[in-house]
Amino acid sequence: MRFLLMLYAWYVVGLCFLVSRGECVIHKSLLKDVDSVNKVGSYIGVVVPNGFEMNPLLQSSSFVMDQTRPYLDISGRRFRIGTLENQRVIIVMTGLSMLNAGITTQLLLSLFNVKGVLHFGIAGNANTELEIGDVVIPKFWAHTGLWSWQRYGQGPESELPLESNGDYTRDVGYLKFSDYNNDTTIDNLLNNVWYQPEEVFPINTTPETRQHAFWVPVDKHYFTLSKKLEDLKLEECVDATTCLPRLPKVARVERGVSANMFIDNGAYRTFLNSKFNVTPIDMESAAVALICYQQKIPFIAIRALSDLAGGGSSISNEASTFAPLAAQNAVATLIKFVQLLHS
């Protein structure tokens, strides 16, 4: 199936050249380079949101850049080629947001011979049992930015627009804005928003057949292997004077969520944790998970907690101080995980 998918992708690209080379996104010479990369064998795809999260990995002695072809630039993305702990990898930065993460991951899987995807970065924390600097590995990911927003006057018993067509559902649950009024006895014109699963189109099903996914699981083997990371020693100090109250740890957790929002609000953080039992909150992981789920590619995400989303100081967000430390801990965990994969 993987071979047929890649063959189809090359067929589509070939048609593009027949129509008009000038309209093609990828030049013929670049496609030859992609083909040369794939002939070497399969790769682990490493997907990371931002440069400050990626740079510690690129600067690590564990990463060795390919001397013949260190990178390929495609559609505004740079696909860095090399080895990480002697495992062939392609590292790519997505940029912020679900859209960027989804597009970049699909490009990676469509063009290159990728046998698994490792995603890493920093995240906000919704679980008060864990602390800044800890690295978490969720078993499930969900996109919590897809809503059906009810008009004022309707309640939980009211059918959602297009619900009878199967477009929207009340199965996942909702947020009632009036629960967060200063005076909770007053209604709120914002009413309720209902969380919705994504429409997905797995490659092994009939095209355009409606399927839905909310909680997307990571790869079972990857998640089992990640238990061996729980004793990994992580950094606790940003510098000589700025340290965390305890040594950070790696923890496997049940759930993480993503949406196109930077969450710095204690009330919403508490809601997400109590409603969905989530720990990390970010803007990309669920998009990567959904693409890998549809393409049937093994996936896991490693996220280091940089702040208590909307907690701590009311003046500033802790991420401004601890993001570099969290990024370094995420990289250290990723490298150790690749060692486990290789062994």
pLDDT by residue (tens digit) across 29-52?
Answer: 899 999 999 999 999 999 999 999
How much is the pLDDT for 18? 40
312 band by pLDDT with thresholds 50, 70 and 90: low
pLDDT by residue (tens digit) across 225-275?
Answer: 999 999 999 999 988 888 888 899 999 999 999 999 999 999 999 999 999
> What is the Cα–Cα distance from 259 to 50, expressed in whole angstroms?
16
11 band by pLDDT with thresholds 50, 70 and 90: very low
What is the percent of the chain with per-residue pLDDT over 70, rounded to a whole number?
91
Question: Phi and psi of 330, rounded to 5°?
Answer: -65, -40
> What is the Cα–Cα distance from 278 to 275, expressed in whole angstroms?
8
> pTM (2 decimals)?
0.90
DSSP 8-class letter at 86 = T
pLDDT at 16 over 70: no
Q: Which of 180, 184, 189, 186 is nearest to 154 (CA)?
A: 189
Domain ranges of the chain: 41-143+217-342
Question: Dihedral (C-alpha) 287, 213, 260, 51: value to the nearest 10 degrees?
Answer: -20
> The domain 41-143+217-342 is classified under which CATH number: 3.30.70.890, 3.30.1330.10, 3.30.310.50, 3.40.50.1580?
3.40.50.1580
Mean pLDDT estimate for the chain: 91
313 band by pLDDT with thresholds 50, 70 and 90: low
What is the percent of the chain with per-residue pLDDT over 90, rounded to a whole number?
80
